[in-house]
Chain A
Amino acid sequence: MDDRLRLIRYLYGEEEDESALARRLSDDDDLYREYERLRDAKRALNDRPARRPDPAVVDQVVDEARTAAQSSAPSTGDRSARAPSRSWTRRLQTVGAGLALLLLIGLGWWQGAGVSDEPVADSAAPGVLDGEAPQAPATADTRSADADAIPAWDDGEELIRIQRRIDRLQARSAPDRWGSLQRVSRP
């Protein structure tokens, strides 16, 4: 960049390498003279008092800002949704974490109870097979677990039916068994 343009940046505090420009100013008399002239003009500008609008104008502007904010408030559909406040977000996070923990504990308890019930169901099945009266289950859950543990065909009536069929077959085969003991003599 041209040194004369860098002078402008220097005067307004925007020059990045001030030390290099200072060296150039000490080496170049023309550049230094230009710097002095520019600096004087800037000083005169800096000495000017600030000017501000009439206070009534500022009040009017703020009134307009309030009116505009109020009139745009009902049409919330056009505006972006407000982010929830941090305190509410924190509360929701705490409650959510608590609920998740309770759910995990509940699941763990339920699974643990299910595993401990399985042997009960298995032990109930042989009792039925042996023709003993089934023990009254403690809960509805264990009852359904027992029912699931016994195969569909393995209930009392079916066993009785099978037993009767066996008895009939044995009864039919009884003459053969008798015959097998006595030789038939044929003429």
Chain B
Amino acid sequence: MQPTDEELVTAYLDEDDEQAFRRLVERHQDRIFGYLMGMVKGRAAANDLFQETFERVIKAMQGQRGSYDRQGQWLSWVMSIARNAAIDHTRKQKKWAEVPQDEDDGRSFWDTLEAESPYADEQLHRAEQREWLDEHIEQLAPEQKEVLLLRQETDLTFREIAELQDVSINTALGRMRYALKNLRKMMEASNEAALVGALDT
């Protein structure tokens, strides 16, 4: 039976068990990193923020800065720290000139989705598909994008997301609804554009 997050937290804090801490990080790394990748541009920045998040987490858990009260919601607590780190990063980035966007290659989402390829190609295809979706998620309103990333990447419940964002659960659900609807519209628009492109050639 897998130890719970709180059991691993206790093992790390009370017995200095670094392997327990490693298990915690490895258990949730995809969720936290996926959210950070969606919030900031570039893998290097997400790696930096991932590390910065855990620096804050470790300090708080050791009582050096802030505090962690063991309430059985370790991931929610870590996500609130990751969110603050991402917001700080975004504010700093806004001081600089806008980062130039990559040129749209005109390919449709549905083209990437329906292609059939061997395994090696499939991985590339999935990576491209992901990239395509990320670009469209980036175009969502910030509050819609964040709810979508929190629910989709970190698997927090809508109630936990509402608490994190300090809004009602209906607001969180409404933002998610608009995020999915807008994303669907973008897919359709992209598909139509690709179809038009195909007819022109």
Identify the A interface with B (CB < 8 A). 1-2, 4-5, 7-9, 12, 14, 34, 37-38, 40-42, 44-54, 57-58, 60-62, 64-66, 68-70, 72-73, 78-79, 82
Contacts and interface: CB of A to CB of B under 8 A. Distances in A.
Contact of B158 (A12, A68, A69, A78): A12
Contacts of A70: 16
Contacts of B55: 61, 64
Contact of A47 (B14, B126, B181): B126
Contact of B187 (A9, A12, A41, A64): A41
B127 interface: yes
| Centre residue among A2, A48, A58, A60 by max chain B CB count within 10 A | A48
| Centre residue among B16, B113, B173, B181 by max chain A CB count within 10 A | B173
A76 to B, nearest CB: 12
A118 B188 CA distance: 108
B158 A14 contact: yes
A5 B34 contact: no
| Centre residue among B34, B126, B148 by max chain A CB count within 10 A | B34
Contact of A64 (B33, B58, B170, B180): B58
B181 A69 contact: no
Interface string B1-16: 0000000000011101
Nearest to B26: A58
